[in-house]
Chain A
């Protein structure tokens, strides 16, 4: 018994097992009914296939290592915890961040890479639930967040603060909607009353969402300062020329 306690302290030391509430969204085997798992798996496979199909024609040779690197980045960023109330902690989900950095479709692909590796290499999240996890944390979070961002950007003036505000709202909503999807799936699988599950999931994640929003906007403003060219797609800035001076694309010519 003592050995087991020791092991736990080991892990705490590695900061791998603070009680991370956010991980509650990583669903394991046996939690979700087979029908739901099958449905979400089909959606996940479709989204990934579309992204890959589009990527095959359009991904420039340079973007292949860069997308992979973004996946690695999201994984590493998820390892950095932030404290929430009562000794628990959350971490960045990153769906909106990924969508803004590489576009919504490739954003889903990047999140799916991370979730797939977590499921297989780290046994973190179930294999039969992989479709559901991708659906909640990549598709629902990524697309809904990006849609909110897109709408707000249309409505608000094209300034830096409204760009950051849209990103903040989008990332809060992405986390909350992802968790609601998770709660609904659990309830539909007979794992408790709908009200309780959705309520508690959304409740906790509306707190975590604040952290997500703060972190996402801080990251974006940092990137905006250092490499505005990377956010060109979602924040085309008229000052681009001037900003580009700061740091330029390294690669000039490669035939």
Chain B
């Protein structure tokens, strides 16, 4: 679990890491949208998107091993809905870029860019910063508060689940499928009861510090973007526009 925790890598003194979270959200999200709207035959465009991300990876010193893990983890699920395509989809004679192989390529490259861009964002921005960024972009308070709670306790509960799983396996778990399903159900039920009670205790802890349901978990003041942020955002966006619309195949 901790292995896939990307945002913990974030270090404050790196140029990319120290950009305002809004800047990174407003460049990397659009990159995913631009890439997804690019026709599959624009090979050079995809090459440029990848190059852009590779440059960011180098600048931000993101560990390659983590990135590879991410791709490998997603790979089976991408293949599951794309690997059959070359076998079932025939090429349409009027369009040279149709057919199974192009469809397959289309899905794989777009998923790749999507995962890559998202990983660059989270590897260089801590979750708390990301939430702050969204708050400054005027996302609803309540939603952000719920996201914070979910993210904060996800790991606590996953560790709890893993401990239960280990305890279960240590007692020669196995046997008939129906029995296994029941055991898993009981584990999940216990997990729920514990998490609910934890929620109640968290609420008490909040009350003890003066919570009355109105306040948010973070500071609301909005800092202006710096010159570096504008420079980064503008140059990134121009790269995307050039790569998407300026490239002639």
Q: Is the interface of B mostly helix, strand, loop or mixed?
A: helix
Asked if A28 and B114 sit within 8 Å, CB to CB, the answer is yes
Mark each residue of chain B from 175 to 197: 1 if its CB lies under 8 Å from any CB of chain A, else 0. 00110111011111111110111
Which of B113, B162, B212 contacts A29 (CB under 8 A)? B113
Asked if A69 and B198 sit within 8 Å, CB to CB, the answer is yes
Query: Closest CB of chain A to B58's CB: distance in Å?
Result: 19
How far apart are the CA atoms of A80 and B182 in the complex, in Å? 13
Closest partner residue, chain A, to B105 (CB atom): A30
Which of A14, A109, A214, A227 contacts B196 (CB under 8 A)? A227
Mark each residue of chain B from 102 to 119: 1 if its CB lies under 8 Å from any CB of chain A, else 0. 010011111101110011
Which of B122, B145, B162 contacts A120 (CB under 8 A)? B122
- Looking at the complex, which of A139-147, A148-156, A189-197, A237-245 is the stretch in contact with chain B? A189-197
CB of B78 closer than 8 Å to a CB of A? yes
Asked if A68 and B36 sit within 8 Å, CB to CB, the answer is no
Q: CB-CB < 8 A to B195: which residues of A?
A: 69-70, 72-73, 76
Q: CB-CB < 8 A to A48: which residues of B?
A: 143
Asked if B158 and A76 sit within 8 Å, CB to CB, the answer is yes
CB of B167 closer than 8 Å to a CB of A? no
How far apart are the CA atoms of A101 and B107 in the complex, in Å? 37
Query: Closest CB of chain B to A241's CB: distance in Å?
Result: 21
Asked if A192 and B85 sit within 8 Å, CB to CB, the answer is yes
Q: A65-B199, A117-B147 are in contact. Are A59 and B193 (CB under 8 A)?
A: no
Asked if B185 and A215 sit within 8 Å, CB to CB, the answer is yes
Asked if A11 and B73 sit within 8 Å, CB to CB, the answer is yes
Closest partner residue, chain A, to B159 (CB atom): A76
Asked if A17 and B185 sit within 8 Å, CB to CB, the answer is no
Query: Closest CB of chain A to B4's CB: distance in Å?
Result: 6
Closest partner residue, chain B, to A62 (CB atom): B203
Q: CB-CB < 8 A to B246: which residues of A?
A: none
CB of B15 closer than 8 Å to a CB of A? no
Asked if A80 and B187 sit within 8 Å, CB to CB, the answer is yes
Asked if A16 and B191 sit within 8 Å, CB to CB, the answer is no
How far apart are the CA atoms of A67 and B213 in the complex, in Å? 14
Q: CB-CB < 8 A to B113: which residues of A?
A: 29
Q: A24-B81, A28-B115, A127-B29 are in contact. Are A251 and B203 (CB under 8 A)?
A: yes
CB of A134 closer than 8 Å to a CB of B? no
CB of B146 closer than 8 Å to a CB of A? yes
Q: CB-CB < 8 A to B36: which residues of A?
A: 29-30, 34, 126, 128
Q: CB-CB < 8 A to B74: which residues of A?
A: 28, 123-124
CB of A1 closer than 8 Å to a CB of B? no
CB of B229 closer than 8 Å to a CB of A? no
CB of A77 closer than 8 Å to a CB of B? yes
How far apart are the CA atoms of A71 and B109 in the complex, in Å? 31
Asked if A31 and B107 sit within 8 Å, CB to CB, the answer is yes
CB of B211 closer than 8 Å to a CB of A? yes
Mark each residue of chain A from 163 to 206: 1 if its CB lies under 8 Å from any CB of chain B, else 0. 00000000000000000000000100011110010000000000
Query: Closest CB of chain B to A130's CB: distance in Å?
Result: 10
Q: CB-CB < 8 A to A116: which residues of B?
A: 147
Query: Closest CB of chain B to A224's CB: distance in Å?
Result: 10
Could you list some 30 contacts between A and B, CB below 8 A?
A: A10-B3, A11-B73, A28-B110, A28-B114, A34-B37, A61-B203, A68-B148, A69-B153, A69-B198, A69-B199, A69-B202, A72-B154, A72-B156, A77-B161, A77-B191, A79-B162, A83-B177, A113-B147, A123-B115, A123-B119, A126-B36, A126-B110, A127-B32, A128-B32, A219-B185, A222-B185, A222-B190, A223-B192, A250-B201, A251-B204
Closest 3 CB pairs of A and B: A68-B149, A218-B185, A30-B110
